[in-house]
Amino acid sequence: MAEPEYPVRIGLEQALEIVGARAAQHRLPVETGDLADAQDRVLAEDMRAPHPLPPFANSAMDGFALRGGDLPAQGERTFALIGEVFAGADSAPPIGAGECVRITTGAPLPPGADTVVIKENVVVDGDSITAKAGEKLHANVRAAGEDYMEGVIAIASGTWLRAPQLAVLAALGIAHVPVRRRPRVAVIATGNELVPAGQPLAFGQIHESNAVMLASLAREAGAMVVARRCVRDDPEALREALLDAALEADVIVTSGGVSAGEADHLPRVLATVGDIHFHKVRLKPGMPTLFGQIGACLHFGLPGNPVASAVTFRVFAGFALRAMLGVTQVPKPSCARLAAPVHKRHARAELARCSLHTDEQGTQWAMPHAKQGSGMLRGLAESGALALLPADAHEFAKGDVVMLWPEYF
Ligand code: AMP
Ligand code: MG
């Protein structure tokens, strides 16, 4: 048999390099979205503060605004109460020497005032108040621009817009934001044995679970799922399904049919309709992973074993989607100590399903799940993390530090 002209059985790092380089060529176009609909979108340009935040000096507390220089160094002093200014007031009376106004949180500081004495610290008597020594100059005042100065980059390009970022943009008065178009993902599950949930199982059949899982992972990664279907292990049906999907999707994710079995047609089919960039990665689970493209559409041929499908989606497809979206935020790498020893026979990198707990000293422990089989969904459903066991290491003692695959979603 002739050697394939694409890399096979490559290491995890090389596979990620290839995926990253291809995905970078498929940066998604920029569109303008309403801020209200921009949750979980990725910002496509640096957003500078069009005005300072806060826009004007205002009170941080309910109290009395006055000139800090008038406050007594010892004993007490009486101030004339000349008015009031509440949040939303359209004007504020200027303050002269020995004068004050009643002020509420968020109200603009009157001209001349630079300090707020909280109401609990004064005695009010009709049209005057008495303040004691010990109050601080400039206390309880939020200066204009103390949060964001006008013109600074408030949210950088490539940032996921989550609740805090949306709040910053809204506070800066920005109603429309440039965001990357959501990647369109088509999910195709392959296998003659698959039956959708809700239908009875005949001999040899199983309920299909990858399509719903991969669609959910795609949405968590910021994508829009444009198709989700099941296809039989038939080269012609696969070919048609891939070509159809490539018409509407930026990324096709298939499950199954990429191993060496008689019904594993995908590598040959992909080679006829597109290009293969690599096949097989020295990774457990996920060895059979296939990556290629049809026209401008990237194709991740993930293994059918459900855990392998989930893990390789996170490692490869999720990574590609972030690159296509131009995400620049890199999550901090996190690590844990193994809560049990592990003996790894093979020379592949392994992503072990683990549950995490933190002890009273603040040490994070990763306990490998008893069910590590790549077909065992329980190990996936009951684990909160993937611990990376490097390819060239084999013996891991209890307490050894392992990297956790970063959580991106
Ligand atoms: P394959 O990669 O096609 O050889 O499939 C490997 C294993 O995963 C087999 O036991 C399949 O029955 C199972 N499998 C494949 N696709 C799915 C799916 N969509 N849902 C659940 N199990 C699947
Ligand atoms: Mg199959």
Contact (CB, 8 A) for 351 and 386: yes
**What distances in angstroms separate CA 88 from CA 49, 56, 106, 327, 347, one per listed residue?**
22, 12, 8, 38, 67
158 Ramachandran zone, left/alpha/beta (phi>0; psi -120 to 50): left
User: Distance between CA atoms of 321 and 70, rounded to whole angstroms?
Assistant: 60
Nearest CA to ligand 1 atom 19: 210
- Dist. CA 262 → ligand 2 center (Å): 9
Report the separation in Å between the CA atom of 256 and the middle of ligand 1, taken as the mean of its atom positions: 5
**Ligand 1 atom showing the smallest separation from residue 288 Cα:** 2
CA of 307 to the centre of ligand 1 (A): 10
CB-CB contact of 214 with 227 (8 Å): no
| Phi, psi dihedrals of residue 320, rounded to the nearest 5° | -65, -40
pLDDT at site 331 = 77
Domain residue spans of the chain: 8-28+182-325, 31-52+149-180, 58-142, 334-404
31-52+149-180 belongs to CATH 3.90.105.10: yes
- Average pLDDT score over residue span 356-373: 96
- The vertex-296 CA angle with 291 and 297, nearest 5°, equals 50
Angle between helices 12-24 and 318-325 (to 10 degrees): 30
Torsion angle (degrees, nearest 10) of CA 276, 214, 371, 358: 110
The pLDDT score that the predictor gives to residue 409 is 38
Query: Which of the 8 DSSP states describes residue 144?
Result: T
The SS3 of residue 276 is strand
Q: Which of 199, 201, 210, 265 to mutate to test the pocket of ligand 1 (most atoms within 8 A of CB)?
A: 210
Q: Is the pLDDT of residue 366 over 60?
A: yes
Query: Above 80 in pLDDT, residue 77?
Result: yes
The pLDDT of 311-340, averaged and rounded, is: 94
Ligand 1 mean position to 191 CA, how many Å?
A: 7
Architecture in CATH for domain 334-404: Beta Barrel (2.40)
| Tens-digit pLDDT profile for residues 177-204 | 999 999 999 999 999 999 999 999 999 9
- Whether the CA torsion 157, 162, 168, 170 is positive or negative: it is positive
Tell me the pLDDT band of 1, cut-offs 50, 70 and 90. low
pLDDT digits (tens, 9 = 90+) for 92-123: 999 999 999 999 999 999 999 999 999 999 99
Q: Specify the CATH superfamily of domain 58-142.
A: Molybdopterin biosynthesis moea protein, domain 3. (2.170.190.11)
Out of 217, 255, 259, 287, mutate this one to test ligand 1's pocket (max ligand atoms within 8 Å of CB): namely: 255
| CA of residue 1 to ligand 2 center, whole Å | 23
Instruction: Average the pLDDT over 356-360 and give the result.
Output: 97
Which of 164-178, 210-224, 310-324, 394-408 bottoms out in mean pLDDT, i.e. has the lowest?
Answer: 394-408
Task: List all residues whose CB is within 6 A of at least one atom of ligand 1.
Answer: 189, 191, 193-194, 206, 208-211, 255-257, 259, 261, 303-306, 375
Nearest protein Cα to ligand 1, atom 14: 304
Superfamily of domain 8-28+182-325: MoaB/Mog-like domain (3.40.980.10)
With H, G, I as helix, E, B as strand and everything else as coil, classify residue 190.
strand
Q: Say what the pLDDT of residue 333 is.
A: 78
Q: Do domains 8-28+182-325 and 334-404 have the same CATH topology?
A: no
pLDDT in tens, 12-68: 999 999 999 999 999 999 999 999 999 999 999 999 999 999 999 999 999 999 999
Nearest in space to 317 (alpha carbons), one of 220, 231, 212, 243: 220
Backbone angles phi, psi at 169, to 5 degrees: -65, -40
Strand partners, 276: 292
* Residues facing residue 365 across a β-bridge: 337, 357
Residue 209 CA: nearest ligand 1 atom is 20
Task: Tell me what the pLDDT averaged over the chain comes to.
Answer: 96
pLDDT at 324: 98
Average pLDDT over residues 356-367: 97
Ligand 1 atom nearest residue 189's Cα: 19
266 alpha carbon to ligand 2 midpoint, in Å?
10
